[in-house]
Structure 1
Amino acid sequence: MRSFSEADIPQDWQKLLGDYFESNEWLALKNNLQSALDQGSDLIRPAPKDFFKALQLTPVDSVKIVILGQDPYHSPGLAQGLAFSIPENIPTNSRAFPSSLRNISKALALDGFGHLPHGDLHDWAKQGVLLLNTALSVRLGEAASHANLGWKSLIDRLIHALALHKPNLVWMLWGGHAQSKLALIQNSQSQLILQSSHPSGLGVYKTDRPFLEPGGQRSCGHFSKTNEWLKTHQIPPIQWIGQASPDLFS
């Protein structure tokens, strides 16, 4: 039977979280999640071994950017443990390809990087993009079904500690849920906070800070703004699509 404990979290992130593991909030999360696993881990997404994939692929010292998602994809075959990312073998023109990724691809193209060749964002994670959902598990077919298990306490502590620990981070806060974490970030030293509507569905256009402008001729520019910020602080920029536009490195 699959068990759940702090040993699942990489040691560098455990250190960042400090005494959180002595808290009642951690005990509640651990008990709640263990109960869900005992009821059937095969009904939980992503696979339990991938709950902390984002932390495993992006160590504390390598984080440059944080992109916050809400909870994992609850449809079969999509969730990987990385916010917004899906397996590479899902065609970009298929119905299974999420609208959020379609619009992220459009924004990247409008920013001069080109379209995503697929939806697997592991390469971003390995370059220092922390693709962090604010709940790290979900029941298959039931969106937000694990939102009340206690993940909030862990993720809020992690976000706040990371912002305090690392200057010059970029935070991409897409949509109201991600922007609800603003208070955990904004008083920290030298952080670039980029906000827009969420990239999924029609909501992408529907705020005063749209992810994509109506008509699809402009984007929020978050990807190019991020690389300019990184260069200004002598941090290697992200290659969003293989080789990024040459002018971003000049």
Structure 2
Amino acid sequence: MLDSRFDFLLLLFRGLYCKTTRNLCIYRVRMSGQKKLSSFFKAIPKQSKRPLSEVNEDDSTSKKQKVEEENNIKIEDTTNKKSASVQSSLSNGFFFDDNVKQEILQLAKKLNVIDPDIGPSWYKALKNEFKKPYFEKLSRFVEEERKKGEVYPPPNQVWSWTRECSMDKVKVVILGQDPYHNPRQAHGLCFSVQLGVPPPPSLINMYKELETDIEGFKAPKHGYLIGWARQGVLLLNAVLTVKKNNPNSHKDQGWENLTTAVIKYLNDHHRGIVFLLWGSYAQKKANFVDQKKHHVLKTVHPSPLSSQRGWFGCKHFSKCNELLKQSGKKP
């Protein structure tokens, strides 16, 4: 009886072993036709950077993919995040060191208007400005305004210009007045609007002038100018926040002092920057630019209210490219 049970168990074991071995062999045969894991990883082909005149050419791909391809970027949605990714600062060639990072975090705790992801190059340039009484007062004002109602741009996008255009890479400055005051437009770069939002009238007029001034330029359907910023075009508003549906509502609260400090810093630490000053409001900043070191181009604002008085035909974009070449910089 014992031998019979033993024989039965032995046969059962052999059967299971053979079945397992057969399945394993089949599995190996099936797997042998697949690629190694490493073969799925390929280097992303490098794309040459495109000049300012070509940044916004249109094509038939989806809107988000189209803009990514045009600007050689990867777009991430940071609308609902307290702070944007540090990656944009790193991509501009300026790395945080631990001391700077800690300074920014401490300042952001003290001054609500400061984003922890403010561009580090600009933080170092402006940190003395942040210590001044007017800036502390400004921070309290913006904080109270956000408690009362909606303020644009969102807190994590007020300082987009510092992340997308590193201070040491600035070649051109375009100065606006204050952010767009309608929903989903402003995102921290003057004249630019968020993806999915049609270009506003002033930007449409900029595109029209580009089409006549720069050969081959085709006006796009979007108004997302982040590609310009990453090529060294500082898209700076003189006032960085605004109340919803209330233009100029944050005027004379202190932002003008900060943006004047930006212009002064660029004037003192750079050479050959082209300042595009459109409209009387922006042209006041020309007083802080040494025109022996830099270039200043002035004309009316591209708004429909003034564009017929000298905007069309100003040829600022081609003139800007020529001035950059004269300074030994790539347009």
Cα shift at 1:11: 2.1
Do residues 103 (structure 1) and 212 (structure 2) align? no
Q: 1:165 to 1:188 in 2, by over 3 A?
A: farther
Secondary structure of the residue that 1:83 maps to in structure 2?
coil
Matched-pair contact (CA < 8 Å) for 1:198–1:211: yes
Cα shift at 1:232: 1.8
Letter of the 1:58 partner, please give it: C
1:157-206 residue CA offsets vs partner (Å, 9 max, x unmatched): 11111111111000000001000111111x26521100000000130122
Secondary structure of the residue that 1:171 maps to in structure 2?
strand
The separation in 1 between residues aligned to 2:193 and 2:114, in whole angstroms, is 26
The separation in 2 between residues aligned to 1:180 and 1:232, in whole angstroms, is 25
Q: Which of the numbers 152, 173, 176 marks the counterpart of 2:256? A: 152
Matches within 5 A, 1:1-250: 3-5=112-114, 7=116, 9-40=118-149, 43-91=150-198, 97-113=199-215, 114-117=217-220, 118-185=222-289, 187=290, 189-206=292-309, 210-212=310-312, 219-237=313-331
1:64-98 residue CA offsets vs partner (Å, 9 max, x unmatched): 0000000111011211211001134234xxxxx32
Matched-pair contact (CA < 8 Å) for 1:85–1:121: yes
Higher relative contact order (CA closer than 8 Å, sequence separation 6+): 1
User: Which consecutive unaligned segments of at least 5 residues does structure 1 have?
Assistant: 92-96, 213-218, 238-250
The separation in 2 between residues aligned to 1:75 and 1:221, in whole angstroms, is 29
Matched-pair contact (CA < 8 Å) for 2:299–2:311: yes
Larger displacement relative to structure 2 (136-145 or 108-117) = 108-117
Cα shift at 1:6: 6.9
Give the number of the structure whose residues are more often helix, by fraction: 2
Q: 1:188 to 1:19 in 2, by over 3 A?
A: farther
> Quick one: percent identity of the two aligned structures?
37
Matched-pair contact (CA < 8 Å) for 1:33–1:149: no
Q: 1:188 to 1:196 in 2, by over 3 A?
A: closer
1:116-163 residue CA offsets vs partner (Å, 9 max, x unmatched): 212111100010000000111111110111113211111111111111
Q: 1:145 to 1:230 in 2, by over 3 A?
A: same
Letter of the 1:30 partner, please give it: S
Letter of the 2:133 partner, please give it: N
Could you say which structure has the larger radius of gyration? Answer: 2
Matched-pair contact (CA < 8 Å) for 2:118–2:160: no
Matched-pair contact (CA < 8 Å) for 1:78–1:86: yes
The separation in 2 between residues aligned to 1:74 and 1:5, in whole angstroms, is 20
Matched-pair contact (CA < 8 Å) for 1:12–1:60: yes
Letter of the 2:191 partner, please give it: F
Secondary structure of the residue that 1:173 maps to in structure 2?
strand
1:39-81 residue CA offsets vs partner (Å, 9 max, x unmatched): 34xx111111000101110000111000000011101121121
RMSD: 1.7
Matched-pair contact (CA < 8 Å) for 2:115–2:159: no
The separation in 1 between residues aligned to 2:232 and 2:200, in whole angstroms, is 23
Cα shift at 1:109: 0.8
- 2:78: which partner in 1? none
Count of residues in Structure 1 that have an aligned counterpart in Structure 2: 219
